[in-house]
Structure 1
Amino acid sequence: MIGQTISHFRVVEKLGAGGMGVVYKAQDIRLERAVALKFLPENVATDAQALERFRREAHAASALNHPGICTIYDVGERDRPFIAMEFIDGEGLRNHIGGKPLPLDEILNLGIQIADALDAAHAQGIIHRDIKPANIFVTKRGQAKVLDFGLAKLLPKGIAFAGTDSSSSAQEPVSMVGYISGTPSYMSPEQIRGDDLDPRTDIFSFGLLLYEMTAGRQAFAGNTGGAIIEGILSRRPPPLSNLNPEVPARLEEIISRAVHKDREQRYQSAAEIREELKQLKLYV
């Protein structure tokens, strides 16, 4: 693949690989800029469900124009499907956290940026459904970028919550079984149960990101997926103040509300939690 030209993109180097994608750095030979090219792994390149997820990622992300969301430039489906997207010079959030709490100012800055990106997606009827450290990049200039809309749910325009659409489950082309085949460390209780989902599922997952940035560790840890599921459904995370004595009480309150197991008790929108974080930033 290195050195090949795909459409008008010359592949330069491999950046990484996962179960649902292989990503290369490439040069756009028309516009003379670096891009990231994402391909389906060869072992799933002809799988109908994988192709649907790939198309969904391109469709969802291309509908969004926001500094906190990775920009889609182009797609191709001839020979081997690919998505050409913004090349991000930075690192994944997990590496950025590095197993220790981030400084408070950085937690708030990144939190506000991610919440704003989620608000922009939700306003377009897009629920991400896979918010986790692997899908957040932090640029060298400190900008958070939300990636991978491959599990995104596209709601009919004007519908704020998926639960208001009685046919949403029947129309859903990707099964819930596929979602929980991996370690579901950042899923909401309702996503694990297979309930109809609305934007509040992303708020729960975002709350777990805030927890991890503040504690330097996952909120729900376990040796098996089953243990993690049990924790998400029935246990509270360890108190943040026990893990990071410097955490402000107000930030702990914000995170606790975001990860409430009852979505009616959570923040009801990404904009609401964004404003709470902005208010806290004024006083710390």
Structure 2
Amino acid sequence: MLEQRYRVEQRLGEGGLGTVYRAQHLKLARNVAVKVLRDDLRGIPQLRARFEREVKALSSLSHPNVVTITDYGVEGGMPFLVMELVEGVELAKIVGEPLPPERALMIVRQILASLAYAHERDVVHRDLKPANVIVRQLPDGRDHVTVLDFGLAKFVGDDPGGDLTRSGLVVGTPAYMPPEQMAAGARRADARSDLYAAGLILFELIAGRRPFTFEEPAELLRAHLVMQPPTLAEALPGSVVRPELEELVARALAKSPDDRFPDARAMIDAMDALPYEPLVRGGVGGHDARRDTTRPARPTPISAAAAASERPAPTPTAAERARSMGMRAGIAAIVFLMTIAGIAWTARRATTEPVADAPTTEPAPPAAPLARSEGPGTIATQPTAPVAAAEVTPRDHDPVAAGAEDTEALVGEEDEGEVAPEVEAPFVAPVRVGPRPPARNPLRGRLPGVLSRVDARIERGRPIGAGDIRALQRYRNDRPGDVRGRLVLGHAYAARGWLSPAMDQYERAVGVDESVRGDPAILENLLRAVRTESLNARASELVVRIFGAEAQAGVRRAISRVRDPGERGRLEALSARLR
């Protein structure tokens, strides 16, 4: 019994710092997960401080892809952390065979969404790995991801060489640790360190194996420090992998943090810009659909903390074994130096921790929500966290109020399955005669039911399902003169990461009525495309043609938020064209 409120019922698992139990909140009759500092670590002040650091980290985060803390207390000198309990399966139990690239990308996208949110609050995870990610399949078959175990979290600017890192401990898990964290310890880890781990997870999900499959920590240390990872094509014999996907993974796995994506949102944008065509063809794990909705057999749900052992590492390939033989002397020297320096790996066995209750109907948003405002020069800042439905101010096109207007097209979330943008007849942009008409936002005010419902989902950061897309496509086809259908369909495509089809809808909508450029989401999504190498030319041309100098203010704001030199350069080139 803890503080006369929680009855501890069952031990679920153990991590590097804590032991997790299933418990019941007596007053609420609600199952929870309780994490306590391990018995053998309670006398070590530094580790108790790290346990309390996890409490601090989680209490500062509120995101659908991050485990939620509900309580904290101390019982008999023993600190404990209370989290909501949810059934799920650890990602470490899913990896091992190549996943469809689309499923792998959507899983990692949600991981990156959680990291982006945490990093914006100066929290770095430092121990991201499949065992610290819980995947829950929703009723419609989609995956909902929750990232947990912030026991090694670091607050940027906090503890600069202080008591928690002064010991020289290298904290983390060797198989997923970035080079800078190995070489210089935890104090050097920053947001880009988490992106390296995310890149490793993405590689493993697509290839079905880790880039480096050595089992000994010293061998892994050497590999992450000096060895170049294999390409996905090398890890998938006989397959053909799109160069854009190879480039994305290689950049995430760059040895130097400066060569990686500058932040999680930049990596999400790169994923969104991947071409709408097969990413991996043929060979082991090849899939011939860009948006592959295939799912393996549904895993048996287990408690999020029930699995207490990490999956065995795959057997090293012959090439890796050969390289390993050639580096034995170097490894021995590293091991000796590690011993002399007193480096202690906290290579925790893959313990799954209970996680916060995931939304019962929706996974994390595929794209950040966009706020509506008038005028193309005004691009609303993207919220850093989804807003609960109860917190959203009712709009004048409320779905309930507007529902009777379009009962046949109400979104059916259960109508899932494979869906893709429809191929339309070639479009020739009309030539304008005279000045541009004044801009207006046609999505303000009362909207028909299907448009209102999907538009509200996009604004709130909710996922856009296949049923949503089909309903919008029907609306557009049935009412070709209503440009609002094309606009919301374009926003829905963009929310799913389909930027090229989204541009098709925007171009056609503006071709019918130029004034609709007042919808700020058009420019927002076009600038997302401008930042990508593959879509830059077309997206830039559309911005110039649709907005002209009106877009300059929005482009400058986008430049101020971008740190990646390549993306900034593409935006600056567009800005120069608009002068």
TM-score normalised by structure 2 residue count: 0.44
- Unpaired stretches in structure 1, ≥5 consecutive residues: 157-166
Q: CA deviation at 1:22?
A: 1.0
Select the residue among 152, 174, 179 that pairs with 2:170.
179
Tell whether the 8 Å contact from 2:127 to 2:173 is kept in structure 1 after alignment: no
Using the TM superposition, name which of 117-126 and 70-79 deviates more.
70-79
Q: Which residue of 2 aligns with 1:266?
A: 260
Q: Does 1:232 align with 2:229?
A: no
Distance 1:194 1:121 in 2: 23
Q: 1:70 to 1:227 in 2, by over 3 A?
A: same
Q: Which residue of 2 aligns with 1:198?
A: 190
Q: Which residue of 2 aligns with 1:161?
A: none
Q: Which residue of 2 aligns with 1:151?
A: 152
Q: 1:172 to 1:46 in 2, by over 3 A?
A: closer
Q: Which residue of 1 aligns with 2:352?
A: none
Q: CA deviation at 1:91?
A: 1.3
Q: 1:114-153 maps to which residues of 2 (within 5 A)?
A: 114-141=111-138, 142-153=143-154
Tell whether the 8 Å contact from 1:203 to 1:267 is kept in structure 2 after alignment: yes
Q: 1:122 to 1:255 in 2, by over 3 A?
A: same
Tell whether the 8 Å contact from 1:214 to 1:247 is kept in structure 2 after alignment: no
Q: Does 1:253 align with 2:247?
A: yes
Which residue identity does 1:8 align to in structure 2?
Answer: R
Deviation digits for residues 191-240 of structure 1 (CA, Å, limit 9, x no counterpart) = 11116232111111111111111111122221311110100011112221
Distance 1:175 1:210 in 2: 32
Q: Which residue of 2 aligns with 1:50?
A: 47
Q: Which residue of 2 aligns with 1:109?
A: 106
Q: Does 1:28 align with 2:28?
A: no
Select the residue among 83, 86, 94 that pairs with 2:84.
86
Q: 1:20 to 1:247 in 2, by over 3 A?
A: farther
Which residue identity does 2:147 align to in structure 1?
Answer: V
Tell whether the 8 Å contact from 1:132 to 1:186 is kept in structure 2 after alignment: yes
Q: 1:144 to 1:113 in 2, by over 3 A?
A: same
Q: 1:48 to 1:193 in 2, by over 3 A?
A: same
Structure 2 residue matching 1:85: 3-state secondary structure? strand
Q: CA deviation at 1:113?
A: 0.4
Which residue identity does 1:150 align to in structure 2?
Answer: G
Q: 1:34 to 1:248 in 2, by over 3 A?
A: farther
Q: Which residue of 2 aligns with 1:162?
A: none
Tell whether the 8 Å contact from 2:122 to 2:156 is kept in structure 1 after alignment: yes
Q: Which residue of 2 aligns with 1:243?
A: 235
Distance 1:8 1:118 in 2: 33
Q: Does 1:212 align with 2:204?
A: yes
Deviation digits for residues 52-110 of structure 1 (CA, Å, limit 9, x no counterpart) = 1100001001100000000011111222211101212111111121x111222211111
Using the TM superposition, name which of 138-147 and 69-78 deviates more.
138-147
Which residue identity does 1:139 align to in structure 2?
Answer: R
Which residue identity does 1:263 align to in structure 2?
Answer: P
Q: Does 1:59 align with 2:56?
A: yes
Select the residue among 178, 187, 192 that pairs with 1:188.
178
Q: 1:154 to 1:254 in 2, by over 3 A?
A: same
Select the residue among 97, 101, 113 that pairs with 1:100.
97
Of all paired residues, the percent bearing the same amino acid is 36
Structure 1 residue matching 2:176: 3-state secondary structure? coil
Tell whether the 8 Å contact from 1:258 to 1:267 is kept in structure 2 after alignment: yes
Q: CA deviation at 1:152?
A: 1.1
Q: Which has the larger radius of gyration?
A: 2
Counting matched residue pairs gives 269
Q: CA deviation at 1:246?
A: 6.1
Q: CA deviation at 1:123?
A: 0.3
Using the TM superposition, name which of 136-145 and 261-270 deviates more.
136-145
Distance 2:103 2:203 in 1: 13
Tell whether the 8 Å contact from 2:90 to 2:130 is kept in structure 1 after alignment: yes
Which residue identity does 2:269 align to in structure 1?
Answer: E
Tell whether the 8 Å contact from 1:105 to 1:281 is kept in structure 2 after alignment: no
Q: Does 1:68 align with 2:65?
A: yes
Q: Which residue of 1 aligns with 2:273?
A: 279
Q: 1:171 to 1:281 in 2, by over 3 A?
A: farther
Distance 2:231 2:182 in 1: 23
Deviation digits for residues 152-201 of structure 1 (CA, Å, limit 9, x no counterpart) = 11124xxxxxxxxxx96423623474335x75111111111116232111
